Amino acid sequence: MSIDIRLARIDDRLIHGQITTAWSKQVSINRILVISDEAAANPLRKVLLKQAAPAGIHVNVLSVSRMMEVSKSHILDGEKIAMLFTTPVDVEALVRSGMTFESVNVGGMSFSSGKKMLTNFVSVDDRDVEAFLYLAEQGIELEIRKVPADHRLNLMEALKKQNFI
């Protein structure tokens, strides 16, 4: 049995209001997997992420390598999952390890040094663009949307329009 991924989302805020109110209801999940080496290595952040989850939804915070192991097991059979990432590079690593995704939602990537603004809530650097190109080449739909009711913006078209690729 394959993993029932209802939502794969890149949002460096991870679990926050949009996840707890809009997305979790829209995609009908019972488990959130936070895939982040940084968060998995921080015991306090793990506790806070688990506390931020909606009632009745279990949360696991895993490193990228641990998710690679879990994806090859049957541990998640029967679970309806939202996977949350902070960066497209982590999604790329999982795809290269054999995981499959139909689509990836980009909900927020903060501006920081070395990044360029793609939209008012998505900023990317060259490594992010590289990862997105790889994911697109694998046939994965890449869309930008903060909440389910928003209009879908094709990430690759936005990158081309802004001359990022």
Query: Nearest 10 degrees: CA dihedral of 31, 35, 37, 42?
Result: -30
- Please indicate whether residue 16 is annotated as part of the active site: yes
Options 16, 58, 74, 151, the catalytic residue: 16
Residue 139 exposed, middle or buried by CB count within 10 Å (0-12, 13-18, 19+): exposed
Task: Give catalytic residues, as residue numbers.
Answer: 16
